[in-house]
Structure 1
Amino acid sequence: MRKVLVAFVLAFAILMFSATKIVMVYWPGPESEAMEKVVSYWNATEGKKLGIEVEILNFSREGFWEKQEILLNARSSEVDIVFVATYIIGRLAPHLVPLEGFQLDPNVFIASALDSMSYEGFLYGLPLDVSNHFLYYRKDLMEKLLNEPAWRTRYEELSQKYLGKKLSPKRPNEWEWDDYKATAIFFTKKYNPDSPTTYGNVLQMKNLVYNVMIWNDVLWSMGGSWFDSTGKFNIKTEAARKAAELFKTLYDLGTVPPGVTTYEFGEANEAFKSGSVFMMIQWSAAYNILTDKTQSPLVYDKVALAPIPGPRPSTHVHSLGVALSKYSKKKDAALKFLSFLASEQAMKMYAENGGIPPVETVLKSLGHKRPEFPVIAEHVRKYGYVEATIPETMSILEIISNKLTAYWAGQIDLDRTLDQIQAEVDTLLKK
């Protein structure tokens, strides 16, 4: 009887002190590799003390969102923490728990990144990786343009001829869109046979929602947005017209490679890496590629960054992050881990292993290893905007992409383009 009692007590003790397991779905790739380091640290330290173990569950990239949404739609308690993104946070919100009372210092995270994880006034996700855009340009050629009298004179002549006004070269952080356009013309051999690059710029004009995110920078920088002051979607504005015309003009002038209507991230990078273009608006993730000697031997030491041009420099911001599932049966334990994850300590560990957390102090502290990190922090804080986090965000992007691509390719005029976008989005939002 004594042996049975001892065995029962031991079994009860093991049960009492065994760890509560939290399952967290995470995006596979560099992001999950970075998160594995943070989770390993948690499991060996604070998690061990609290009896809370975290396990990462990776789905394949193909069909990732669909697989996760199947679990959420089934109200499955198999996962406790799910992976979210700005452009689907509104769609997933009914399955998530708002992070109210959550131990998060709002001063740690950059405000626009928190906006990117919020919906209808509630924070639903913890932003862990931030994406934004830069103007990339060739600093060696820019210095020559600023300091070589013959180049300056030629620049002024071309701007007078094609823009109807004489412009002088400026540093890119002072540019309006006319400066961008004049520089694109100057560095295109068609207009300047002495240009060391064949094309002045490269645009990403493939029918793709992520390319529209880049075009939105132009719209916002010109004072536009998707919604007016009353909250109504309105694309039939002067800012939208000018933003659409800018890409069309640059394409029609031939300041871009002829195949740009099929270009996205990779193709634009290749054009820049080849040394055949002077500048481009591109995702911050490209910096590490373009400044790597092995991957970009022709330009790695010639790359510089500037804000998006315009009267109101603006960069699209979206975040990838994690959120608490409404169907988790271990919410208290999951929140303890999320509180740790929201600390500067965890975010620095995440950044040191490959993540890009929207935490200004962390990004600035790692500038000696990743020179773009402090610039990301500055631009996301100063110029960052979030188009929308409503459930229809991706559908709106798809509508805009379909119509703008047709306009840029000459298949439809601008008035019909904006009319059709407006009508389709109005119909979408009424559903």
Structure 2
Amino acid sequence: MRIKKIIKLMSVGMLVVIILGFVGVFPVFSKSSEVTVLLQMRSGPEATAMEPVVDYWNKHYAASTGIRVRQVTISRMGYYVKLFNQLVSGTQVPDIVFPFGFGIGKIIEYLEPLNSFIEDESLFSSPQGNRYDIKDMFPAMLESVTLNGKIYMLATDVSAPLLYYRTDLIKTPPQTWDEFIEMAKKFTKSYNPDSPTEYGTVWMAKPVLDDTLCWLEIFWAYGGSFFKEGSYEPNFNSPAGIKATEFLKKLSDSKVIPPDVVTYEYPEVLAALQTGKVAFAIEWNAAYPDLTNPKKSPKVYDKIAITNPPGVKQADGSIKRVVETHCLGLSINKNSQYKREAFKFMSWVTFGEGAKIYLDNGGIPPLFSLFTAPEAKSPLPEMAEAVGKYGRAIPVFKDQMTVIFMNTKHLNKVFIGEETPEEAMENFNNEVYELFKERGYFEEK
């Protein structure tokens, strides 16, 4: 009788241990209290890539975690205005939003800081309880969404301007920005009538976003910074700002680019490479699938390589390169009722098996483990070096987008001859200073 009692007590004890073991994996969530987390995406390839990720989670983990995810996709047209209005209104849904990395400053006060969730092993871990490693993500991705030490987004996609070149024409791509122009002359018919291409290169010079983001790779390589150290005082009229802008002036004056280059952004640069109009160019990493597709790029699909952008030679002979990099990603609405549940799903999407599913469906999750995996295909290994080693992000501040568009206006004036590089940077710097003065930046830092 006593033995039976002991066995019974042992059985109960084992059951408690087993239950506690499961609670260790799922400490907060249970099937009996299932909640639905609303994820809002912007229409486009990212939303399409996210759909199978959400489906997989719901099929495999909704029951065990008590977290079900519902994806809602809204139009790209006016997306950020809609997102801003939603968050400002104080609505509790969507729980998870999909901002743009360098536009996060404007909405950051409406987003939940993620640091405490990342530090919580029960949340920053797989549904099976395996801890994720924050260092697996490219440092620049975290830098791009961090303000005062607080992280506000986990990146799902990385974007960077890289150097594409024709391998049948170029053995060694240009290593410095000076070499960039000299090599472009070699492949421009006005300099070399035997050139196989009409122009050596092209540039995203349309006054939108791309021109500034590409310019930053030169600006930073020359040692430039947005602000003077320890302050929000703009530093664009520095020698680095002038030299970077002089490069664009020299590029334009040398006529190694098409004369209508001020109308060029991503699609036009892509077309110039696809048609064999140019030998090399700075273009977004997103172009790689199209440029290596036999149907979309029959002239060059097997003759295109991707590498780091050029840089600036230093006194010791080394080359300083910087890759402008930014991200798309997931953030938590500060007014969400289900912040912990939202983060559990988010961490799985960005660091767990969800990231691999997202990658397989067209996403570009910036993880070293995925980009350097044995089965990784171009351009992932190349991007692991470019973004992982040389990546740099625009600093986070409220008026990021406003400042970017101010710069594009002045870069455009340089291209069309309305301002010198010195005038452009001086005027740009003054405009930013006045904007910051008006909005109280100098009282904040």
TM-superposed deviation, 1:364: 2.3
The answer to whether the 8 Å contact 2:348/2:355 transfers is no
The residue that corresponds to 1:148 in the other structure is none
CA distance in 2: counterparts of 1:215 and 1:367, whole angstroms: 33
Q: Residue type matched to 2:167 in 1?
A: K
Q: Which amino acid aligns with 1:344?
A: G
Give the Cα–Cα distance (whole angstroms) in 2 for the partners of residues 130 and 361 of structure 1. Answer: 14
Deviation, 1:240, is 1.4
Instruction: Summarize deviations over 1:307-340 as a string: whole Å, max 9, x none.
Output: 1112211111101001111111122222222232
* 1:56-95 superposed matches below 5 A: 56-95=71-110
Q: Is the 8 A contact 1:367 1:373 kept in 2?
A: no
| Equivalences for residues 3-402 of structure 1 within 5 A | 17=32, 19-102=34-117, 103=124, 105-143=133-171, 171-172=172-173, 175-231=175-231, 232-311=233-312, 312-365=320-373, 368=376, 370-402=377-409
Structure 2 residue identity aligned to 1:126: L
Tell me how far 1:229 sits from its aligned partner: 2.7
Structure-1 separation of matches of 2:340 and 2:288: 39
- Is 2:425 aligned against 1:418? yes
| Deviation (angstroms), 1:366 | 7.0
What code does the residue aligned with 2:330 have? V
Q: Note the residue ranges of structure 2 that are not aligned, 5 or more in a row.
A: 1-29, 118-123, 125-131, 313-319, 440-445
Q: Say if 1:206 and 1:261, in contact at 8 Å, map to a contact too.
A: yes
Q: Which moved more, 1:314-323 or 1:331-340?
A: 331-340
Q: Is the 8 A contact 1:360 1:374 kept in 2?
A: no
Moved over 4 A (4+): none
Q: Which amino acid aligns with 1:82?
A: V
Structure 1 residue 16, shift from structure 2 partner: 8.0
Structure 1 residues 200, 44: closer, same or farther in 2, change over 3 A? same
What CA distance in whole angstroms lies between the structure 2 residues aligned with 1:414 and 1:130? 30
Residues 1:405 and 2:406 are matched in the alignment:
no
Moved more, 285-294 or 98-107: 98-107
What is the distance in 1 between the residues matched to 2:402 and 2:250? 27
Q: Secondary structure at the match of 2:71?
A: strand
Quick one: distance in 2 between partners of 1:112 and 1:262? Answer: 30
Corresponding letter in the other structure for 1:340: W
Query: Could you report, residue by residue, the CA deviation over 1:68-99 in whole angstroms, capped at 9, with x for unpaired residues?
Result: 11111110012111111211212111111100
Q: TM-score, normalised by structure 2?
A: 0.84
**AA at the equivalent of 1:376:** M
Distance 1:184 1:201 in 2: 6
What SS is found at the alignment partner of 1:323? strand
Match of 1:5 in 2: none
Q: In the TM superposition, what is the alpha-carbon distance from 1:382 to its structure 2 partner?
A: 0.7
Q: Give, as a single letter, the amino acid of the residue that structure 2 aligns with 1:386.
A: A
Q: Deviations over 1:285-325 (max 9, x none)?
A: 11111111111111111111221112211111101001111
CA offset at residue 210 of structure 1? 2.3
> SS state of the match for residue 279, structure 2?
strand
Q: Which moved more, 1:295-304 or 1:414-423?
A: 414-423
Q: Is the 8 A contact 1:20 1:52 kept in 2?
A: yes
How far did residue 227 of structure 1 move? 2.1
Match of 1:393, as an amino acid? Q
Match of residue 10 from structure 1:
none
Distance in 1 (alpha carbons) for counterparts of 2:72 and 2:285: 27
TM-score normalized by the length of structure 1: 0.87
Structure 1 stretches lacking a partner, 5+ long: 1-14, 144-170
Amino acid in structure 2 at the alignment position of 1:110: F
Q: Please give the alpha-carbon distance, in whole angstroms, between the structure 2 residues aligned to 1:134 and 1:112.
A: 15
**AA partner of residue 421 (structure 1):** F
Q: Is the 8 A contact 1:89 1:119 kept in 2?
A: no
Shift of 1:371: 1.2
* Residue identity matched to 1:108: D
Q: CA deviation at 1:35?
A: 1.1
1:389 to partner: Cα distance: 1.6
| 1:109 counterpart letter in structure 2 | M
Comparing 283-292 with 337-346, which one deviates more in the overlay?
Answer: 337-346
Partners of 1:106 and 1:405 lie apart in 2 by: 39
Note if contact 2:223-2:240 (Cα within 8 Å) is conserved in structure 1.
yes
Q: Which amino acid aligns with 2:234?
A: F
Distance 1:366 1:64, change over 3 A: farther
Aligned length: 388
Distance 2:85 2:178 in 1: 48
Kept in 2, the 8 Å contact 1:26–1:58? The answer is: yes
Alpha-carbon distance in 1 for matches of 2:34, 2:65? 8
* Alpha-carbon offset, residue 114 of structure 1: 1.1
1:19–1:51 contact (8 Å) kept in structure 2: yes
**For residues 403 and 261 of structure 1, what CA distance do their matches in structure 2 show?**
12
> CA RMSD of the aligned region, Å?
1.7
Asked if the contact 2:249–2:421 (Cα under 8 Å) also holds between the matched residues in 1, the reply is no
* 1:368-409 deviations in Å (ceiling 9; x for gaps): 5x3101111221111100122211110110110001101110
CA, structure 1 residues 16+349, in 2 after alignment: closer, same or farther (shift >3 Å)? Answer: closer
1:367 Cα offset (Å): 5.0
CA contact (8 A) 1:204 1:260 kept: yes
User: Quick one: which amino acid aligns to residue 96 of structure 1?
Assistant: L
Contact 2:205-2:265 at 8 Å conserved across structures: yes
Residue identity matched to 2:235: N
